[in-house]
Structure 1
Amino acid sequence: MRCATVWYGREREERAVSQVPEVDGLRLRAAREYAGFSLTRMAQATNYSKSYLGLVETGVNPVTLEVVAAYERALGIGMYRPDINHPRLKKIEGPEHLQRIREAVEAGDPDIFAQGPTSSSIDAAVAPVVGPGAIGNFRRWAVSGKTSTLRANAVSILGFLPGRENADIVVRVLETDATVRRLCLASEVSRLTQCGWDVALAVADDPTTAPEPRRLAAKLAKEAVDPKDTESRWCAGYLLQRLAPVLGSGS
């Protein structure tokens, strides 16, 4: 009976984990670093050892329901920052892929950031591990990248990085580069509402066309005070200001 109970519990645990989208080590690491938790602090908060959590985050140890629940208790149930709803969304395929991306951008190769829109998990995972050389490259790409996709992705990375210079570049690009601004606004709408990309672009062009303006405004209000993401703060403020006529009319 004991063996049957253990087996059933493990089966239930694996099934429960599979129901949470994209719960893997990289997602947990991105959530932790986005919240500003070091691995040591996370170990203290979850009562797991630092070495064990490190192995989970790098994919050596499996992600169990208990570990996911521990991260949720420490970081909040909203730790799964949703990705944009885009047909060409780029994602990290594993720790080795993340390492290749990091090495590429350090060497001046934009790699995945020039190939299509990047996910929030990529931005949150890459930003904390890049060095000064890569940060300089992202600053350059944000301003003068060859494509609007590269410029917008670079803005997203800089938005996660601390420092006045990074924040100033994000704001300057969003204020002066209309194409990048449209992509970033649409990404914010898509991420928050999970609407189709065509709808997100339409809302970016005219926020008053949002299908559920009050619901969007409520989500934007939280993003507008997020201290961890300059891009989201700017986009949220921009969209809220232009949603005001609809909200004021009682629609």
Structure 2
Amino acid sequence: MDTLEVVAAYERASGVGVYRADTNHPRLRKIESPEHLQHIQQAVESGDSDIFAQGPTSSSIDAAVAPVPGSDAIGHFRRWAVSGETSTLRANAVSILGFLPGRENADVVVSVLETDAVVRRLCLASEVSRLTQCAWDVALAVADDPAGAPEPRRLATKLAKEAVDPKDTEARWCAGYLLQRMAVVLGPES
């Protein structure tokens, strides 16, 4: 079974979209081989956060990791989201927790997004970049000033779909945050 087949199997089991667009971040981490996927999964279970601290993780990594963590791994993600050494680690942990079921995971995601401004900015930019496929610097600018988004109606349409996604707490929170701040430029259509 090749990597794509493995990830597709995880997608079927979890409902997480492996074919979901990725961000345009220059350091995006992707699955390189079946062995790399196995290494990532073993690292998660053992508490090794290195892969999640190196750069943003791709949707395929998130889809492959989210449906399989044991209770130790979930504990690692919760700890990394709150007190990980780097903002990249914290943001990646929030992203994974966003896909996991349960109120405790959702509460951690919301708490971090409400209190950690650096992680919030990274998560917002990731959402914008993923939905619009814009350059990373543009996505960061929109995270800083959502009212200044290029093509705000197009982005708002995509965010509205994310705001009701029952399988991704992070996407729902970020979509609501961005839509609220974009309302001043969206206003009623003429």
TMscore range, shorter length: over 0.9
Among 31, 51, 55, the residue aligned to 2:11? 31
Q: Partner letter of residue 67 of structure 2?
A: P
1:171-205 CA distance string (max 9 Å, x none) = 00000000000000000000000000000000000
How far the C-alpha of 1:209 sits from its partner, in A, is 1.1
Equivalent residue number for residue 193 of structure 1: 132
Kindly provide the amino acid, as one letter, of the partner of residue 24 in structure 2: N
Which residue of 41, 49, 56 corresponds with 1:110?
Answer: 49
The CA deviation at 1:80 is: 2.0
Is 1:95 aligned to residue 34 of structure 2? yes
Using the alignment, how far apart are the partners of 2:120 and 2:127 within structure 1?
A: 11
State how 1:135-174 maps to structure 2 within 5 Å.
135-174=74-113
Cα distance in 2 for partners of 1:202, 1:250 equals: 25
Letter in 1 for 2:106: A
Q: 1:189 to 1:225 in 2, by over 3 A?
A: same
Q: Structure 1 pair 136/221, CA: closer, same or farther in 2 (3 Å)?
A: same
Per-residue CA deviations over 1:141-189 (Å, capped at 9, x if unaligned) read 0000000000000000100100000000000000000000000000000
Distance 1:30 1:90 in 2: 18
Q: Distance in 2 between matches of 1:96 and 1:33?
A: 21
Amino acid at match of 1:35: G
Shift of the 192–102 alpha-carbon distance from structure 1 to 2, 3 Å rule, reads same
Separation (CA, whole Å) in 1 of partners of 2:11 and 2:46: 26
Is the 2:152–2:182 contact (alpha carbons within 8 Å) kept by the matching residues of 1? Answer: yes
- Structure 2 residue runs of 5 or longer lacking an equivalent are none
The alpha carbon displacement at 1:29 in A equals 2.8
CA separation in 1, counterparts of 2:82 and 2:179? 25
- Structure 2 residue 20 is the aligned partner of structure 1 residue 84: no
Aligned residues: 188
- 1:227 matched to 2:166: yes
Contact 2:123 2:174 in 1 (8 A): yes
Partner of 2:146: 207
Structure with the larger RCO, 1 or 2 (CA within 8 Å, 6+ apart): 2
Contact preservation (8 Å) 1:105, 1:134:
yes
Q: Note the aligned Cα RMSD (angstroms).
A: 1.7
Could you state the TM-score of these two structures normalised by the residue count of structure 1?
0.71
1:120, CA displacement in angstroms?
1.2
Tell me which residue corresponds to 2:72: 133
Cα distance per residue 1:43-81 (max 9 Å; x no partner): xxxxxxxxxxxxxxxxxxxxxxxxxxxxxxxxxxx8621
Amino acid corresponding to residue 80 of structure 2 in structure 1: W
In structure 2, the residue corresponding to 1:202 is in which secondary structure?
A: helix
Contact 1:101–1:111 (CA under 8 A) maintained in structure 2: no
8 Å CA contact retained: 2:18, 2:63: no
**Aligned residue for 1:5?**
none
- The 3-state SS of whatever aligns with 2:77 is helix
Hey, which bits of structure 1, 4+ residues long, moved more than 6 A?
none
Task: Give the gaps of 5 or more residues in structure 1.
Answer: 1-22, 37-77
